[in-house]
Structure 1
């Protein structure tokens, strides 16, 4: 075989392997599963995955969040002070 043919075949194989969806995404339509127990298990897994996606990320560092909020309030106060110092009607 020609070495360029082998290289091209290898590239095509890699491209197909990367473009193939993972096995978990192949079973998205649970309604087509005939066995009731398997179908219900599929629905339950989908619900758990969806709940995990919707769950907000917990705040890991509460003091950092409070510091950010304090800094925002200081910035707002500085803006309000600078707006009040503008001469209107001078």
Structure 2
């Protein structure tokens, strides 16, 4: 596991929480939390905002090829994307 994964996961959770305006701490948001579920209710348009904020938060662009053929169902999917973007290689 990438040693920075925990830090990246926390940053992703901060961005998701901020985007939704929730009163949660990153530690309260499970990696398995569904993006479209009752708590987060993230639409496809909001997901685009999250991607933009992630690039700013991580000070790292997310290459377009990371998005091809992928779906984002859980917070973990966003963490994986951010890890891949930071490493420049697949997190799987």
TM bracket (short chain): under 0.3
| Structure-1-length-normalised TM-score | 0.20
- Structure of greater Rg: 1
Write 1 or 2 for the structure with the bigger share of helix.
1
| Structure-2-length-normalised TM-score | 0.20
| Greater RCO (Cα-Cα under 8 Å, separation 6 or more) | 2
